[in-house]
Structure 1
Amino acid sequence: MKHQVSFEDRLLQSAQDAREKAARLPPGAARDRLLSKARQNEAAVNIDRWISAPGSPRPDRS
């Protein structure tokens, strides 16, 4: 299956959707879970960018 949208863009869209849903909820567990999901997705994007950056350290696979 080939996606029309990149993995990074899907993660960012998911984070944005979670933040929008959280904004409509009162403080509580459900809101906290959505905000946590948004932060995790954004962190995954940042890690992927860091790993993909030119000159970034590569894991030693020997």
Structure 2
Amino acid sequence: MGGHSWHPVPTVIASKAGFPMPEAQLTERSCAAGALGQIPSTALMALALAHAQRLAKFGA
């Protein structure tokens, strides 16, 4: 491919503050079926900070 693309990337955030995932493996299908689903990459840092409990408030 040679550069950045718009293709989704499997993402898992492991955290005590997150939802438990029944799958114990990191595959594209298990990630897509998880609580995150497909999200824009611009939201990833905010989600990571929220799951690390580094934000005072996340969401509405």
Q: What TM-score, normalized to structure 1?
A: 0.29
Point out the structure with max Rg over C-alpha: 1
More helix by share: 1
